[in-house]
Structure 1
């Protein structure tokens, strides 16, 4: 079996990640650094892959004969024995000289490494996340080991590093063999392939009609349905084709408020549904058109946006609506007002019972998936940024205007951008919203989460100043 070691300096959350992967509290977790001293192994499961995971002592720069030095030797032995290492840094507190020292050490060892930016759910963690690029270990994977966020991205990074054949899983064809062409500025641009498979999760409150919808899609009564809420307990996957394109669709247990989740079995079902969301590319939120936008619906949509998945709304049970034009106008107005974080989300009225609107829903899914994969060239982004800043200058702080210098897109799925600015903390939420809304409108990025991160440009003289003291 594949062995993966978790490494990093003390107190970055290695043991919390270990416990998350093995599904038990096997490792002691405490705010004090240095609680873990020996290597600890466990059997880990991450979505559809399994491996042996090794928790290690925190890396410290100390003499070989000291306790810390002997702990470090144990960790280095674990790195050499493992097929892959997860180098964990703390995005919340940012990089330290220790992180840089051990990043360099790992590069010299030449062993496979994935850089993991933990505590990414914390306010202000964006700066630490983007500083992690400077370690030279590739793109960091943002996670929250404590809350289980970003586990789908971590799974994809592990499979990409070791190969799908190692875990006996299918290649994520949406990411593999991407065709690249040059745009008019000579920059490489990925070409979206409309034939690549789609991974779709169907989520919603109990009894919204999720299983009925999937049965209608595949044309058979594959999934048990009925008037009782909570019939589906496992995340069931079905495969079929739409316009010659392979579709893998996951039906999930209904998600209800925590206070109403009492049985152990239902808790497991909800956890299974949350895993399906993290593993999917597009997530269809099925709302009951007769009682839409209850608090739980909005929480589900917010969770999908935070996970960075591509969301689509299906207003189900449309066959029960009488004044359809008026109701549809009202639903679309409420969608824009209640879900500003995914402005422009595609919302389609359907009936799982009669099959009405299913072709439109699939078209919306395919379009949203394409948007989620969209990349904008750096040249176009900076021309656009110049116009946006000229039209609406950033705020002034203590009489000095905040200087917005540069912008680039660092990843897709979802579209993620960095803006370089002299005063990231002073730019403000309203100005960030202005830029995000402009990106949606001008580059066709409506309806998907957009990550916009502000960072201060590195000072090239900082290290020189330190040496002079």
Structure 2
């Protein structure tokens, strides 16, 4: 990946940071709402502005509160983003004017070694003129006037960023080693999902070896799905943290609905999904619903039991969870069930290794010859039924796709093939052809009858 310069967007709550972030990356990646404090963790994305390429970081609204509080922990993430950045965009709301918190942020930024570009957002029309004049008193130079929502002022922002970002000095992308198959596939896209407070953000922080994501005893801290690039034993991984998903009946707040929708979108983006359970709470019906959502999207699924270091009656708990999964997710037998501890880091290496192995099975393709030799033996061992005395003739099987693996079965009267026999074939494909517990799709196809007309 190219080594892009980094631009951080900072400011008090509700000045339009996430709107500007979405404008720069060209997608609605960050959640946006009228209420303040929507963004909590810092989100990164690749941005392009009139040919100027850079990495942009969206941060939480800066609030001057105790470091142990949730706003205080959010502020620490913002401070880390500024320290990491090549240049920071300090956003103010031109319509609201300068408030005391803006002045407090400006005092902090003047002591920073990171170059600062002052940006007056919501500057369209005449309503923001007084705020722009007030911004001159912050001691950070003339503000760049723009409207992130309407895309006005992007040319002026380009001119302000250009002296700090060298487009010609970007490092070239590293070439993938020819003998390393995992580089050819790209980074492992690994999403961590589960109910609130299962320890998803804590687990990712332990993997990274830093407090990259905000954690705490409060439920529902994570709102956006945050993707973070990481290297595990020289192999690239893209970790995706998601918001906790409660029962649908309990989700009434608009912002929580947006967070859950973002988490479901992250599942669709992922290759392998880890369902994280809380060992102190066991397996609940909501966990099965979340797992089923991942399987319905065709993602490879791993179940990890977190907080194993404080679990009681570990053996019976593990066996009970495995048994409940076999019964509740009967469409996929033999799901990997692992134990981890986000607090101590135990089991994380095993989890990542199993994730890579699972992706390999999820991406596997079987040759037509090998597939049909297996298919003939399977049909000979258990011939299809003959409903109404009419025999169902199965001709051949072919693999149409991978990721997830999909197969097409050709034959006559296949529309009458019972689901039990289809499951027999799917389970045999998984068991005998190296697909393990990944979702397998089977499509039935009958040849066209030339006498239909």
Indicate whether 1:388 and 2:378 are aligned. yes
Instruction: Quote the offset at 1:262 in angstroms.
Output: 1.5
Q: Decide which of 319, 324, 327 is 2:314's aligned counterpart.
A: 324
1:206-237 CA distance string (max 9 Å, x none): 11110110000000111111111101111112
TM-fit CA distance, 1:291: 2.0
Q: 1:205 aligns with which of 180, 195, 204?
A: 195
Alignment of 1:286 with 2:264, yes or no, is: no
Contact 1:192 1:373 in 2 (8 A): no
Q: CA deviation at 1:337?
A: 2.2
1:252 and 2:242 equivalent? yes
CA distance in 2, matches of 1:300, 1:205: 8
Question: What is the CA–CA distance in structure 2 between the aligned matches of 1:192 and 1:215, rounded to whole Å?
Answer: 24
Deviations 1:137-194 (A, max 9, x none): xxxxxxxxxxxxxxxxxxxxxxxxxxxxxxxxxx9x9xx9999xxxxxxxxxxx7768
Query: Are 1:299 and 2:286 an aligned pair?
Result: no
Aligned counterpart, 1:373: 363
Distance 1:256 1:291 in 2: 14
Q: 2:341 & 2:177 partners in 1: Cα distance? A: 37
How far has the Cα of 1:325 moved from its partner?
Answer: 2.7
Aligned counterparts, 1:52-451, within 5 A? 196-451=186-441
Aligned to 2:165: none
**Cα distance, 1:437 vs. partner?**
0.6
Aligned to 1:69: none
Q: Secondary structure at the match of 2:372?
A: helix
Distance (whole Å) between structure 2 residues aligned to residue 297 and residue 221 of structure 1: 26
Q: How far does residue 290 in structure 1 lie from its aligned partner after superposition?
A: 2.3
Residue 310 of structure 1 and its aligned partner are, at CA, apart by 1.2
Cα distance in structure 1, aligned partners of 2:228 and 2:332: 28
User: Closer, same or farther in 2 for the Cα pair 1:258/1:370, shift >3 Å?
Assistant: same
For the residue of structure 2 that corresponds to 1:222, the secondary structure is: coil
Q: TM-score, normalised by structure 2?
A: 0.60
Kept in 2: contact 1:309–1:449 (CA 8 A):
yes
1:373–1:300 CA distance, 2 compared to 1 (3 A): same
Rounded to whole Å, the distance in 2 between the matches of 1:250 and 1:335 is 24
Q: Is the 8 A contact 2:394 2:414 kept in 1?
A: no
Q: Report deviation, 1:381.
A: 1.1
In our comparison, the structure showing a higher alpha carbon Rg is 2
Q: Please tell me whether the aligned partners of residues 192 and 370 of structure 1 are also in contact (alpha carbons under 8 angstroms).
A: no
Structure 1 segments of 4+ aligned residues over 4 angstroms from their partners: 44-50, 176-179, 191-195
In structure 1, the gaps of 5 or more residues are 1-43, 51-170, 180-190
Q: Deviations over 1:229-272 (max 9, x none)?
A: 10111111211100101111111110111111111111111111
Unaligned 5+ segments in structure 2 are 1-25, 30-44, 48-172
Q: 1:400 to 1:307 in 2, by over 3 A?
A: same
Deviations 1:341-385 (A, max 9, x none): 222211111111111111111111111111100011111111111
C-alpha distance in 2, partners of 1:49/1:426? 50
CA 1:367–1:428 in structure 2 vs 1: closer, same or farther (change >3 Å)?
A: same
- TM (norm. structure 1) is 0.58
1:329 Cα offset (Å)? 2.5
Corresponding residue number in structure 2 for 1:457 = 447
CA RMSD, aligned part only? 3.0
State the aligned residue count. 290
Contact kept? 2:282, 2:317, Cα under 8 Å = no
Go from structure 1 to structure 2 and tell me whether the alpha carbon gap of 1:354 and 1:367 turns closer, same or farther (over 3 Å shift).
same
How far has the Cα of 1:327 moved from its partner?
2.4
Partner of 1:107: none
When residues 209 and 393 of structure 1 are mapped into structure 2, their CA distance, relative to the original with a 3 A threshold, is same
> What is the CA–CA distance in structure 2 between the aligned matches of 1:441 and 1:195, rounded to whole Å?
24
